[in-house]
Chains A and B, each alone.
Chain A
Amino acid sequence: MSVNAQVMNDLLSERLDNPAERTKLAAYAGDYIRDRLREESFARKVIPPKQVTKDECQVSVNHDTLVKIIEVAPNSRAMSMSFRGEPTTRLVRAPRAEVSFFTISSEKFEKPEQELLAYQMPITKIIEDNSVKDIQEIEDREFLIHTEACIQALQFEANGNAYVAFNRTNFNAGTAVSAGVVKGSLALAAGGVDDFIVRDLQRRDIVTVRKLLSANRLRPDRLLMTEPDWDTIGTWTTEDMGDKIESETLVDGYTYNTLLGLNVIRTIKTDILRPGNVYLFAAPEFFGKFFILNNTKFYIDKKVNIISWQAWEDVGMGLINIAGVRKLELFRGSLTTDATGGDTNKDVGFATAEPVEEEVLAAENNRVDQGIHFPNIASF
């Protein structure tokens, strides 16, 4: 149902006078300009979240936080032997890891009810809807930083427990080993500096990163990339795609959701997953867990004439098997951390290839408040 937005704003302030009516209003109109596209979480597509209850969690004797303990499959092996042999003994044990919960919240919004009436659009409803997506943006950012930590851990181990800058120069010189991450074939081309210019995705790049996973007895399952990287598939030729797909792509774009047998997850959140970073995941059961302790809750209240509202959720992410993810970098520079988690191993310009700060995610595209829109009418 769509109702006049101002009527809804009026209704909101009236209904909030009655404590029993302090519930969200479902109907809204849509006659306003959006600042940006808000997209659902890509982390939830890599690891579908599972609802848990407090009964499935453990608590500490020292404080009031909860964790869910995850068990990892026990190791085992077989052996060949003669008729008179006897197998070695293994005392069975399985590793366990804790997944802890934390809160992701919207801002706390406040507005005098009189000023709410000045808006034609259902501003509270829009913010409520956007808050859910805003919360999922933070989910994605958290997930991505944890995922990158897995990549860095794989690199650290493969490079002799040392933080070696993984850039084109070191890789071509053989001083940096590729275990968690590979460079794109165009990024490895000779000449130039170790920069963060994003090269086009090549078909062979996907094969290269696939092999990192499959060489560890893990089956590649889903590929995460940005829309701009995905768009470069449009430059692939008949040699890459064959005549049929190339013809389709020229007319409709590449419309399939799979690429080389991988499920592709695309995102337009290029300030979180920066172009040039492509992650390849094993199936969730080989990688990690995403738990929801409390689904998104929405609180709205009115004290005298001030209406306030807030949304939040409680989630836990655990990337248990770090070998379940690998990465393809389409740029030459290094994003390798150093021993203190700092930036000394990173090449100049690295910030353009890493997720932006949380606060920066709220940056506006439009410049209406600065008077920049066209034609710029001056009303007096």
Chain B
Amino acid sequence: MALNFELLSALEHITLRNIRVLTTDLVNPYSAAPLADGEWVEIVSATDYHVRRNAGFGLGGAQEGTIIPWVVWAEKGRTDTQAMAEPKVPLLFLGPYEAITSICDTTGVILGSLLTVQDVTVAAVVYRGLALRAAGFTVGYATRVFTDGRIQFVRAY
């Protein structure tokens, strides 16, 4: 299985966090929509410290608004995320980095484009991935756009 997300920066400059998923189906590779590496999740609320896809996931692809999203750094089906009694996923939490992702929509994206997170469709599957920012939260800047549909980007925070 090819990687959807390839980190180009050294890990020592990035702070990782493991945060519980809101529903365990997110880490079950046989569920309807498991999380993939390179997908973006958000914390549910100020009083609910779990991560989920955006509340409107799959319902029209709203762009991420004011809530900070984080990228999932775990391939679909990893057994370490499933083994915990309350499954958690690793997130690239703090620190800028450069990466290449295939969980994205390259429409309109050029060098330097501001990127945000929204529903994207890759190989007929809907994910929460990078796309050209129209409004909402800027998660990074495009540094390269590949003809095969991938984006190389720098995270902004």
Contact = CB atoms under 8 A, between A and B. Distances in A.
27 contacts: A60-B77, A62-B75, A62-B77, A63-B1, A63-B74, A63-B75, A63-B77, A63-B78, A65-B79, A65-B80, A99-B83, A100-B79, A100-B83, A101-B83, A102-B80, A102-B81, A102-B83, A141-B85, A142-B85, A145-B85, A145-B86, A146-B85, A149-B85, A316-B83, A317-B83, A341-B23, A341-B24
Given A340-B23, A341-B24, A62 B76 contact: yes
A60 B79 CA distance: 9
A273 to B, nearest CB: 14
A141 B85 CA distance: 8
B85 A101 contact: no
A132 to B, nearest CB: 20
Interface string A98-109: 111111000000
The bracket for how many chain A residues form the interface is 20 to 34
A57 to B, nearest CB: 10
A341 B85 CA distance: 12
A207 interface: no
Nearest to A105: B18
B80 A100 contact: yes
Interface in B57-91: 74-86
Interface string A140-159: 01100110010000000000
Given A60-B79, A61-B1, A62-B75, 15 more contacts: A62-B1, A62-B76, A63-B74, A63-B75, A65-B78, A65-B79, A67-B79, A98-B79, A100-B79, A100-B82, A145-B85, A145-B86, A146-B85, A341-B23, A341-B24
B1 A142 contact: no
3 pairs of A and B residues whose beta carbons are closest in the complex: A145-B85, A100-B79, A100-B83
A66 interface: yes
Contacts of A341: 23-24
Contacts of B78: 63, 65
Interface of B: 1, 23-24, 74-86
Contacts of A100: 79-80, 82-83
Contacts of A317: 83
Contacts of A142: 84-85
A317 B74 CA distance: 21
Nearest to B86: A145
Contacts of A61: 1
A66 B77 contact: no
B9 to A, nearest CB: 19
A61 B23 CA distance: 26
Interface in A246-291: none
A339 B75 CA distance: 27
A149 B84 CA distance: 13
A66 B78 CA distance: 9
Nearest to A59: B79
A146 B86 CA distance: 9
Contacts of A63: 1, 74-75, 77-78
A101 B80 CA distance: 6
Q: Which of B24, B74, B75, B85 has the most CB of A within 10 A?
A: B85
B14 to A, nearest CB: 14
Nearest to A103: B80
A103 B79 CA distance: 12
Q: Which of B23, B24, B83 has the most CB of A within 10 A?
A: B83
Interface in A89-131: 98-103
Contacts of A146: 85
A100 B78 CA distance: 9
Interface string A45-73: 00000000000000011110111000000
A264 B75 CA distance: 42
Nearest to B79: A100
A65 B75 CA distance: 10
Nearest to A142: B85
A337 to B, nearest CB: 12
